[in-house]
Amino acid sequence: MHADATFSTLVVVFLAAILTNNILLSKFLGMCSFIGISRNIHTALGMGIAVTFVTFCTAVLNYAIYYGILVEGAPWCAADLTYLSFLCFIMVIAGFVQLVEMVLERFIPALYYNFGIFLPLITVNCAILGVSLFMIDPNLKFGFKQTAAYGLGSGLGWMLAICLMAGIRQKLELADIPKPLRGLGITVIITGLMAMAFLGFQGIVDLG
Amino acid sequence: MTIYLQAIGMLAGLGGGMAILLLVANRFIANYGECSIKINEEEPFTIEGGRSLLDVLYERKIFIPSACGGQGTCGFCKIRAYYGAGPVLPTELPFLSVQEQDDNVRLACQVKIRQDLVIRVKEEYLNVKEYKAVVTKAEMKTADTREVHLKLIEPEEMEYRPGQYVQIFVPGTGETTFRAYSIASAPSSKKEIELLVRLIPGGVGSTYLHGVREGDEIALTGPYGDFVLDMSKETELVCVGGGCGMAPMRSILRHVAEVNPEQRGSLFFGARTDRDTMYFEDFQELAKSMPNFAVHYALSEPESSPEWDGETGFIHESVIRNVGSEGERQAFLCGPPPMVQATIKALTEKGMPRERVFYDEF
């Protein structure tokens, strides 16, 4: 991937983040809330939107912090502070989740109570920290616009996966599942099958 | 050296920046301003928004029942909210029937005050007061049930009906916790009330009340409960109690004996063994002054009580045997859910309308 951001490269990054490099189904990150709130499409969609928002905003902010302050020779601080990137990223994520929590409680209280404990747990949703860490992968050489596309795509990819799962689990309630597999067992098996299905997108786009 | 300073400065700056951002957001997003609350037909009052309705009601000395301390797990704090309470939350749904949802019933502990509110609280709750009481007597009645006498200090008297209950404040749980107990004394005993407390392992309320000693001070609110005893002459009363479900029955029976000893009726008490029976002699004695009142005790495990010569089997079977199927009747059931459900079934099969059967399960 090249650093100059033509429109087509942005589209490639965006689609790759959703389909071929789906953060959940290809890297199995963010499983906790994925399994926790995928019982109902409506809540899953709400969670997806919240995660997408946080992923996108934190990816952009963390990009600015990383290249503006942390890397060696950065404009605001010349010293190499990259060893602090984990700490900084998680701090930004935690702050953003607090913000989302406040906004949701104020404006969509029903959704807020539906999320319950999983809302503050977005903070430790590894998919979000994962996106922030992957975007600084030197092999990818992401520019600012690509990072934005990658963050948005990853969030939407996670949302797509959880909504699909919620749809399947709603149907599963009517299915006759062997007793030992009910609940978590069948959910993890289906996640595996979904991951294999997503491999089928491999030919379309490639992040490299 | 500078690298350390830079690192510390970087983290401090970032942390401070996030904190300021959140503070600003909090100032603008979570600021609900002054909200006015109108309760029933009273004059509205204003209050700072952002808190739970239950907290505000308690602060205004309106003691609606609540056993869990506002966690949304008991479902007692039902009120009607006509305006401003927002959508029903998923935490409330398990406690609200479809009918109640249509009637705007909400759980006060789950309603956060975000805007002006118009609510309706049951009239009887407006009469509920906060009492201070002192334990005057406490004795074990069976292996796990304790009779506790409370003398009211402030205010000194409580007006209540038989079948009503009080909420005992349980201290030391780290939050506002109340537990409900039926009053066992007759309404004529206004200055001193009696409770019957069965020890439930791990239960905060029963552990507390089994631990108090004579002279200890207790805080409570009450009276609650909308049961109204039908004392008209032709009504036959059917009282069925299991375990410490005997408390309201004692209140009812003593009240009947005082007010109209001629009243027709019967009392049923179900227990496993004769070690679990309570007040057997008391009630026999009381029944002597009431010619039309029968007392039935039945044991469900008679084989472990060789000296027992009374009725055996489940208590609803005794109800089937001893209650007629004609005339005006009113029933009050109190005890474990299976007992209550079986008795309701038995009584409705005997042609008793459902609205004449009151019950309290625990």
Average pLDDT over residues B123-152: 89
| H helices present in chain A, as ranges | 7-18, 31-36, 41-65, 85-107, 109-115, 126-134, 144-172, 184-199
- Is the domain defined by B236-361 classed in CATH 3.40.50.80? yes
Instruction: Say how far apart CA B22 and CA B26 lie, in whole Å.
Output: 6
Under CATH, which number does the domain B127-224 receive?
2.40.30.10
Asked if B153 has any chain A CB less than 8 Å from its own CB, the reply is: no
Cβ atoms of A170 and A78 closer than 8 Å: no
Instruction: Say how far apart CA B275 and CA B279 lie, in whole Å.
Output: 11
Asked if A65 has any chain B CB less than 8 Å from its own CB, the reply is: yes
Cβ atoms of B271 and B297 closer than 8 Å: yes
Question: Does residue B228 register a pLDDT over 80?
Answer: yes
Asked if A87 has any chain B CB less than 8 Å from its own CB, the reply is: yes
- Is the domain defined by B34-125 classed in CATH 3.10.20.30? yes
Question: Does residue B20 register a pLDDT over 90?
Answer: yes
Cβ atoms of B195 and B150 closer than 8 Å: yes
Q: Characterize the bridge pairing of strands B145-154 and B192-198.
A: antiparallel
Asked if B114 has any chain A CB less than 8 Å from its own CB, the reply is: yes
Asked if A79 has any chain B CB less than 8 Å from its own CB, the reply is: yes
- The number of C-alpha atoms within 13 Å of B211 and in the hemisphere containing its C-beta is 11
Where are any strands of DSSP class E within B74-170? 78-83, 105-107, 117-120, 129-140, 145-154, 165-170
Average pLDDT over residues A54-69: 91
Start-to-end CA span in chain A (Å): 7
- Cross-strand bridge partners of residue B192: B151
Q: Which residues contact B14 (CB under 8 A, 6 or more apart)?
A: A65, A88, A91, A92
Average pLDDT over residues A164-186: 90
With bands split at pLDDT 50, 70 and 90, how would you rate the model's confidence at A195? very high
Instruction: Say how far apart CA B11 and CA B20 lie, in whole Å.
Output: 14
Cβ atoms of B192 and B151 closer than 8 Å: yes
Q: Which residues of B touch A87 (CB under 8 A)?
A: 11
Instruction: Say how far apart CA B151 and CA B231 lie, in whole Å.
Output: 28
Question: Does residue A45 register a pLDDT over 70?
Answer: yes
Cβ atoms of B185 and B197 closer than 8 Å: no
Instruction: Say how far apart CA A29 and CA A23 lie, in whole Å.
Output: 6
Q: Which residues of A touch B11 (CB under 8 A)?
A: 84, 87-88, 91
A135, two tokens: 């975007």
pLDDT tens digits along B31-84: 788 888 898 888 888 888 888 898 888 888 888 888 777 778 888 889 999 988
Report which secondary-structure segment, H or E, holds B208.
helix B204-211
Q: Which residues contact B51 (CB under 8 A, 6 or more apart)?
A: B112, B113
Average pLDDT over residues A178-205: 89
Instruction: Say how far apart CA B183 and CA B218 lie, in whole Å.
Output: 15
Mutate to test the interface with B, among A58, A62, A76, A106 (most CBs of B within 10 A): A106
Question: What's the pLDDT at B354?
Answer: 84
Asked if A113's CB is within 8 angstroms of B91's CB, the reply is: yes
Mutate to test the interface with B, among A47, A81, A92, A118 (most CBs of B within 10 A): A81
The one-character DSSP state at A120 is G
Instruction: Say how far apart CA B200 and CA B362 lie, in whole Å.
Output: 11
Q: pLDDT > 90: what percent of chain B?
A: 14
Asked if A106 has any chain B CB less than 8 Å from its own CB, the reply is: yes
Asked if B21 has any chain A CB less than 8 Å from its own CB, the reply is: yes
The whole-angstrom distance between B46's CA and the closest CA on chain A is: 20
The whole-angstrom distance between A11's CA and the closest CA on chain B is: 32
- The number of C-alpha atoms within 13 Å of A165 and in the hemisphere containing its C-beta is 33
Q: Characterize the bridge pairing of strands B78-83 and B105-107.
A: antiparallel
Is pLDDT larger for residue A155 or for residue B127?
Answer: A155
With bands split at pLDDT 50, 70 and 90, how would you rate the model's confidence at A4? low
pLDDT tens digits along A81-126: 888 889 999 999 999 898 888 888 888 877 787 777 778 878 878 8
With bands split at pLDDT 50, 70 and 90, how would you rate the model's confidence at B320? confident
Average per-residue pLDDT for chain A: 87
Nearest CA in chain A to B91: A113
Mutate to test the interface with A, among B8, B14, B31, B112 (most CBs of A within 10 A): B14
Prediction pTM value: 0.62
Three-state SS for B350? coil
Instruction: Say how far apart CA B216 and CA A174 lie, in whole Å.
Output: 57
Question: Does residue B299 register a pLDDT over 60?
Answer: yes
Predicted complex ipTM exceeds 0.85: no
The whole-angstrom distance between A137's CA and the closest CA on chain B is: 22
Asked if B88 has any chain A CB less than 8 Å from its own CB, the reply is: yes
B231, two tokens: 């004392």
The one-character DSSP state at B169 is E
Asked if B7's CB is within 8 angstroms of A81's CB, the reply is: yes
Question: What's the pLDDT at A190?
Answer: 93
Asked if B30's CB is within 8 angstroms of A106's CB, the reply is: yes
Instruction: Say how far apart CA B184 and CA B161 lie, in whole Å.
Output: 11
| Residue B124: alpha-carbon gap to chain centroid | 14
How many CB pairs lie under 8 A apart between chains A and B?
58
- CB environment B212-250: b (16+ within 10 A), e (fewer): beeeeebebbbbbbebebeeeeebbbbbbbbbbbbbbbb
With bands split at pLDDT 50, 70 and 90, how would you rate the model's confidence at A58? very high
pLDDT tens digits along B154-168: 888 898 988 898 989
User: Cβ of B280: how many Cβ atoms within 10 Å?
Assistant: 14
Asked if B88's CB is within 8 angstroms of A110's CB, the reply is: yes
Question: What's the pLDDT at A1?
Answer: 43
Q: Which residues of B touch A70 (CB under 8 A)?
A: 10
Domain layout of chain B by residue ranges: 34-125, 127-224, 236-361
Average pLDDT over residues B318-340: 85
Instruction: Say how far apart CA B223 and CA B235 lie, in whole Å.
Output: 25
Instruction: Say how far apart CA A131 and CA A13 lie, in whole Å.
Output: 13
User: How many residues would you count in chain B?
Assistant: 362
Asked if A65's CB is within 8 angstroms of B89's CB, the reply is: no
Sign of CA dihedral A32, A36, A39, A45: negative
Nearest-by-Cβ selection for A114 from B18, B90, B110: B90
| Residue B265: alpha-carbon gap to chain centroid | 25
Nearest CA in chain B to A87: B11
- Cross-strand bridge partners of residue B180: B167
What phi-psi label fits residue A164: left (phi over 0), alpha (psi between -120 and 50 degrees) or beta? alpha
Q: Which residues of B touch A94 (CB under 8 A)?
A: 18
Nearest CA in chain A to B2: A79
